[in-house]
Amino acid sequence: MSTDRSFTAALVQMRTGLLPEPSLAQGTRLIREAAAQGAQYVQTPEVSNMMQLNRTALFEHLKSEAADPSLKAYRALAKELKIHLHIGSLALRFSDEKAVNRSFLIGPEGDILASYDKIHMFDIDLPGGESYRESSNYQPGETAVISDLPWGRIGLTICYDVRFPALYRALAESGASFISVPSAFTRKTGEAHWHTLLRARAIETGCFVFAAAQCGLHENKRETFGHSLIVDPWGEVLAEGGVDPGVVLARIDPSRVETARKAIPSLQHGRRFSVADPKAGPDHLHLVRGSA
């Protein structure tokens, strides 16, 4: 009896447009391509349904989770192809004033195994004039999410979350062997930090990291970095995309998680500690929760 628990993971790199229909057609074509190459787990990027910077246009096309045609189509596609399909995120209606940036893990029967609302909002001003205020349109999530795959547990995160390592450690301590980081990194921040952040999160947690990315110049004139990455628990890049839409695949051996964690068992070594501020005097200690 074979004990091989390896599987093929694929990242679908997209250039999402302004409207859901052509974005769905693009995503569907690439997911089919990935499945045809043997992928059992397929992930799409953040905001796979539409990339709208204009608030009026965004809310004109937003649907609730129950009514969203892209989600319905992707569930049917997962069932048809008999794959675990991870839709990196969809922009969905939360209320009259707010959307959510929600990730979906869909099983081979078309059922939603888990969903996750992006916790950390991308509110930044970049050198050169680029400015983003995700919190103006989106309601942040408040709960980290972990779910089961046939090959181990996966923690769900989205894009800007990658800059908050405590989230990733919490997912690893909760049993994650894989962590997803579907993204729409800007070209500028991607060139500076994308590889370093993803490799660091893999090394710190001893997890595989799957990060499908948006790429190129979009219809809304935003430029994203591409370079979808699959990183192993030792920080080695197993597969990398370029700057155009396409599919990136790698064979995943879950036993490498245990090997990396045995070599450097940092998840077991976390301790509670406090931060002393000499300027505030001895009575001012900031308590910090390390890992138990």
What is the CATH number for 22?
3.60.110.10
The pLDDT of residue 136 is 85
Measured distance CA(284)–CA(280) in Å, rounded: 6
The parts of the chain modelled with pLDDT lower than 70 are: 1-3, 129, 131, 281-292
| Under 8 Å between Cβ of 231 and 199 | yes
The pLDDT of residue 124 is 76
In a domain, residue 18? The reply is: yes
Measured distance CA(92)–CA(118) in Å, rounded: 12
In a domain, residue 274? The reply is: no
Per-residue pLDDT tens over the stretch 95-144: 999 999 999 999 999 999 999 999 999 877 877 767 678 888 999 999 99
In a domain, residue 282? The reply is: no
In a domain, residue 48? The reply is: yes
The pLDDT of residue 123 is 79
In a domain, residue 292? The reply is: no
Q: What is the pTM of this model?
A: 0.93
Number of domains in the chain: 1
Measured distance CA(52)–CA(61) in Å, rounded: 9
Known catalytic residues? 46, 118, 159
> Residue 243 CB: number of other CB atoms within 10 A?
17
- Give residue 253's domain range: 7-264
The pLDDT of residue 292 is 44
In a domain, residue 120? The reply is: yes
The pLDDT of residue 264 is 96
| Under 8 Å between Cβ of 16 and 23 | yes
From residue 10, alpha-carbon distances to 30, 77, 166, 203 in Å are 10, 15, 26, 21
In a domain, residue 288? The reply is: no
In a domain, residue 284? The reply is: no
Measured distance CA(88)–CA(102) in Å, rounded: 8
